[in-house]
Structure formats: C-alpha cells, structure tokens
Amino acid sequence: MKQLLFILLITFTLSSCEKDDICDPATSTTPSLVIQFYDADSPNNVQTVTNLKVIAPGFTNAVSGTSGVSKITIPLKTSGDSTSFEFIENGGDADTTDDNTDVLQFTYTRKNIYVSRACGYKVNFDLTNTNTNILTADTDNWIQSIVIAQPNIETENETHIKIYF
C-alpha cells in the first residue's frame, strides 16, 4: 500500500511539471525601420553616405553611426505613434565643423501582435504619413527627398524608406 501511494505521489508530482518556455531566437520580433540611401541625381543608384550618424533628439549615443553606409536599420518607438531622428551627414567623425543635421519624423500606427507565451508581443508598424512634413526644413538640407517604399513594417527583409540626397 505504501508503494502504491509513493508511485501515485511521484506520478502526480512529475505530471505537474511544465517544460521551460524559452523564446526561440529565430522567432520574429518587433522589426526595425529599414532605410536605404539613393543618389538624388540618379534615383536608381544606391548611394553611400560618408560618416553618417543617426541619433534620437535629446540623446548623446548614436542609434547608428557608420562610415560608408548605404542601408541602415533603426528602431521605432513601440510606446508612441511617432519617432524623430537626427540624420547627421559627416557626424560620424571627430570634426564637427562640417556636420549637417536633418531631422526626420516618422508617424505610424502600431499593431500589437501576440507571438507566444515565451516571446510575448511584438509590434508591427504602418507608416501613415505622406512624403510631406517628415523632413524638418532648414537652410541646408542634405536630404533632398524621402519616399515611403513599403508602409507596412512587418519584417526587416525589405526597404521601407528611400532617402535621396
């Protein structure tokens, strides 16, 4: 009788265990905005930006800062419906005298999507703005124009924004 109780106790104890929930690294998460740069004079030609620095206003650490880049990915805020960034041409070097800053604001709607218990939620974005009013005008914009190539931001496999300079 004691053996039967012991076996039942062990069976109930082991059957109540759950496997660990671990989010697979290959699982799709909140995508970043993919931006590619193009030559304004030859719109089909991808262009490299020299010493590009991208920073969120009010911060000192760059979101992206590289030399000789033609495509970048930057995160959008998941807690708001717009995100602003300063795109600084020649901002990635020590010489600040030739920096040229253009401010871009991206407006969007957010879609919270349940992934799994282990991974939680991810956010997809839908760019709602047109090509006007996303570039803050100043006297020497290095960015000539902006085109929304793909308004639905669900993956990082495609270019969402094309910037011509």
pLDDT of residue 51: 87
- The residue among 78, 77, 73, 83 whose CA lies nearest residue 129 is 83
Tell me the per-residue pLDDT of 58-85, one tens digit each, with 9 for 90 and over: 777 777 666 788 999 999 999 999 999 9
CA distance 70 to 94: 21
Kindly report the pTM of this predicted structure. 0.81
Reading phi first (left if > 0) and then psi (alpha if -120 to 50, else beta), residue 18 is in beta
